């Protein structure tokens, strides 16, 4: 995911542990969907430069 963001000119502004907990929380709740990820990514991705 981080590589995809970097290729498109973004950085992920999130701690690795927080990111892991978020992803695992979605997975364990059966909510691991793009719509769920998109909201989080928009809140944590910042444009480079």
DSSP letter, residue 19: H
**How far is Cα 32 from Cα 38, in angstroms, rounded to an integer?**
11
Q: Give the mean pLDDT per block of 10 residues along the chain (49 residues).
A: 89 94 97 95 94
Report pLDDT for 9.
95
The H-or-E segment that residue 1 falls in is none
And the tokens for 27? 């997975």
For the chain, give every domain's residue range.
2-47
């Amino acid at each position: 995911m981080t590589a995809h963001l970097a290729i498109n000119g973004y950085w992920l502004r999130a701690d690795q542990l927080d990111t892991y907990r978020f992803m695992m929380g979605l997975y364990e709740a059966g909510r691991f969907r793009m719509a769920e990820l998109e909201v989080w990514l928009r809140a944590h991705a910042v444009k480079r430069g």
